[in-house]
Amino acid sequence: MKLLPIPAAGQTPVRVLTIAGTDSGGGAGIQADTRTMALCGVHALVAVAAVTVQNSVGVSGFHEIPPRIVADQVRSVAGDIGVGAAKTGMLASTAIIEAVAEVCREVGIGRAGSIPLVVDPVAASMHGDPLLHEEALDAVRHTLIPLATVVTPNLDEVRLITGIDVTDDASARRAAEALHTLGAQWSIVKGGHLRSSDVSTDLLFDGDTFLEYTAPRLATGNDHGGGDTLAAAIACALANGYTVPDAVEFAKEWTRRCLEASYDLGAGHGPVSPLWRLTHS
Ligand code: PLP
């Protein structure tokens, strides 16, 4: 695959900002984002929105960072360091979503500004543990998604946000249209959780054209952090000047390689791993 350029020693890399939650198990959330960013040759900037207590078996609790502190982290790095692209992950509450949306508009992140924004509307962990208060779904729909250059829900998140149960190609198209109608410039409906098929097809839609990305399904229980990795890789490619369709193609292949390199960790689900990049020239 064509990889993103690794900067020479001493050369300042492009910067990508993640606004998301931490994972004490090191597999998903901010830890997945920064692993992928580093191995894509990108300098990771971090605004912590929540601290989760989790391991390979599940999420047993989380602590929300005060919304003003989340927004101040974004403001602080955007002003001094500069952001090439940004992504959001776990934002937990309406108050945090509103604070993030406001600061993004202020510093030019999102579709109304010049800095592309990937919105991963994280709602629950793969174990079914909630990472977003139910009352915050309206803010995801009407405050967060309208800022998105690209929105990347999985099928559970699609159902929560649009009410559409994706079971086949036609319902996937309806869901992509519904997400676009909410205000995302591009919407992706990820087929990875559609277990009935032996391929995984992601559908990308810009309000006009549907693009399909198909890859063989990989049978692994170690896919913790897969969604974060895809969204982070899209942001890295956008920061390197890729178009959205090219960024999605890159990210899909990146994530497939990370799934192939996933490993056992703890008693539950192990993480996808970008560490394959260290031995790949
Ligand atoms: N924990 C955090 C902080 C996350 O942001 C996410 C997903 O985005 C998860 C857990 C869930 O990841 P997974 O569904 O891959 O277990």
Instruction: List the domain boundaries for the chain.
Output: 15-275
Residue minimizing CA distance to atom 9 of ligand 1: 125
Of 61-75, 185-199, 200-214, minimum mean pLDDT range: 185-199
Atom of ligand 1 nearest to the CA of 20: 5
% of the chain beyond a pLDDT of 70: 98
CATH of domain 15-275: 3.40.1190.20
User: What is the average per-residue pLDDT within 253-277?
Assistant: 97
Q: What is the pLDDT of residue 13?
A: 98
Of 131, 157, 229, 234, the one to substitute when testing ligand 1's pocket (max ligand atoms within 8 A of C-beta) is 131
Share the mean pLDDT of the chain.
95
Of 18, 31, 65, 90, the one to substitute when testing ligand 1's pocket (max ligand atoms within 8 A of C-beta) is 90
Strands 85-88 and 186-190: unpaired
Given a cut of 80, is residue 147 above it in pLDDT?
Answer: yes
Which residues 6+ apart lie within 8 Å of 38 measured at CB? 44
pLDDT in tens, 84-133: 999 999 999 999 999 999 999 999 999 989 999 999 999 999 889 999 99
Q: What is the pLDDT of residue 196?
A: 61
Atom of ligand 1 nearest to the CA of 21: 3
Given a cut of 80, is residue 263 above it in pLDDT?
Answer: yes
Of 18, 31, 125, the one to substitute when testing ligand 1's pocket (max ligand atoms within 8 A of C-beta) is 125
User: Which residues approach ligand 1 with their CB closer than 6 A?
Assistant: 20-21, 23, 28-29, 52, 54, 89-90, 122, 125-126, 131, 224-228
Collapsing DSSP to helix, strand or coil, 85 comes out as: strand
Please name the amino acid found at residue 227.
G
Q: What is the pLDDT of residue 154?
A: 94
Given a cut of 80, is residue 153 above it in pLDDT?
Answer: yes
Task: Name the pLDDT band for 176 (thresholds 50, 70, 90).
Answer: very high
Q: How many whole angstroms separate alpha carbon 64 and alpha carbon 53?
A: 11
